[in-house]
């Protein structure tokens, strides 16, 4: 059964409920899920944390996102954590990393073992949705190699600088890009299904 809720009434009734911190936006409901999954496709379409700036720009462009939208969306790494195996190469091999930051991460992410140990993507304020992620990049404290690529002397440095001083423009751009992402090729008609349990196919 499709759940189609008029956006206006949903907004007035529910939006405040979800506004914990950070930006908010209207989520389009009634999205259908695929009944199949492809590991190969996921791995080819999802950007890897080892990508350089050029490849990140291409990965997002392939989905219709501008470089500016890519930088805004990356700001979601203001919350959440990463497994050690995704940032090990960065903390042991990269040179564009704050040395104190790298040393502190090595305790929880040894060069061998501890693959699944977690560290926050934004060490400054790991559970608050703010623009500290961009300030961290300016201090070479991006956790993932891909994070630091956004501020490494390239074309996106200026936008990182802008978001680091203007959290409201980050919030606005992030919310708009999230709505756009939610509109990426939704399944329609009889394709896919509306799940009765979000975690599994019916
Ligand atoms: C720019 C390219 C991106 C790359 C290379 C990337 C990579 C990663 C990696 C490797 C992790 C750690 C996953 C784990 O250890 O389980 C992660 C976590 C996360 N990413 Fe991204 N990501 C990117 C963009 C995004 C975007 C666009 C969003 C959403 C708008 C996003 C939201 C998150 C969140 C919320 C987490 C934390 C998950 C958790 O704590 O469980 N990321 N990302």
The Cα 176–Cα 92 span in angstroms is: 36
Asked if the structure places residue 26 within a domain, the reply is no
**For residue 42, what pLDDT is reported?**
87
Tell whether 51 is covered by a domain: yes
Whether 191 is covered by a domain: the verdict is no
Q: How many domains does the chain have?
A: 1
Expressed as residue numbers, the domain containing 109 is: 47-182
The verdict on residue 30 lying in a domain is: no
**Residue 72 maps to a domain:** yes
Choice from 42, 48, 55, 77 to test ligand 1 binding pocket (greatest atom count within 8 A of CB): 77
Candidates 186, 191, 192, 199; CA nearest to 29 is 186
Ligand 1 pocket, Cβ-based, cut-off 6 angstroms: 47-49, 51, 56, 73-74, 76-77, 79-83, 86, 144, 146
Whether residue 142 lies inside any domain: the answer is yes
7 in any annotated domain = no
Rounded Cα gap, residues 62 and 158, in angstroms: 23
Question: What is residue 151's predicted lDDT score, i.e. its pLDDT?
Answer: 98
pLDDT of residue 21: 77
CATH of the domain at 71: 1.10.420.10
For ligand 1, atom 39: residue with the closest CA = 80
CA distance to 3, 178, 201, per residue, from 69 (Å):
29, 9, 31
The whole-number pLDDT of residue 20 equals: 60
How high is the mean pLDDT in each 10-residue block of the chain (202 residues)?
A: 32 43 87 92 92 98 97 98 98 98 98 98 96 98 98 98 97 97 92 92 95
Residue 24 falls inside a structural domain:
no
For residue 78, say whether it is annotated as part of any ligand binding site.
yes
């Amino acid at each position: 059964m499709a759940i189609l809720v008029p956006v206006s009434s949903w907004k007035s009734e529910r939006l405040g409920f979800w506004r914990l911190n950070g930006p908010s936006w209207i989520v389009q409901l009634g999205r259908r899920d695929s009944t199949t999954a492809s590991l190969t496709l996921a791995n080819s379409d999802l950007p890897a944390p080892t990508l350089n700036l050029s490849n990140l720009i291409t990965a997002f462009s392939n989905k219709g996102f501008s470089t500016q939208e890519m930088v805004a969306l990356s700001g979601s790494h203001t919350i959440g954590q990463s497994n050690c195996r995704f940032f090990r190469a960065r903390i042991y091999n990269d040179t564009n990393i704050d040395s104190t930051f790298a040393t502190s991460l090595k305790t929880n992410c040894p060069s061998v073992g501890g693959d699944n140990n977690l560290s926050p993507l934004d060490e400054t304020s790991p559970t608050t949705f703010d623009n500290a992620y961009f300030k961290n990049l300016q201090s070479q404290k991006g956790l993932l190699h891909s994070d630091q690529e956004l501020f490494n002397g390239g074309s996106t440095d200026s936008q990182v600088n802008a978001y680091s001083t203007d959290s409201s423009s980050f919030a606005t751009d992030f919310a708009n890009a999230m709505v756009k992402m939610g509109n990426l090729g939704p399944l329609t008609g009889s394709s896919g299904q509306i799940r009765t349990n979000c975690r599994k196919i019916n």
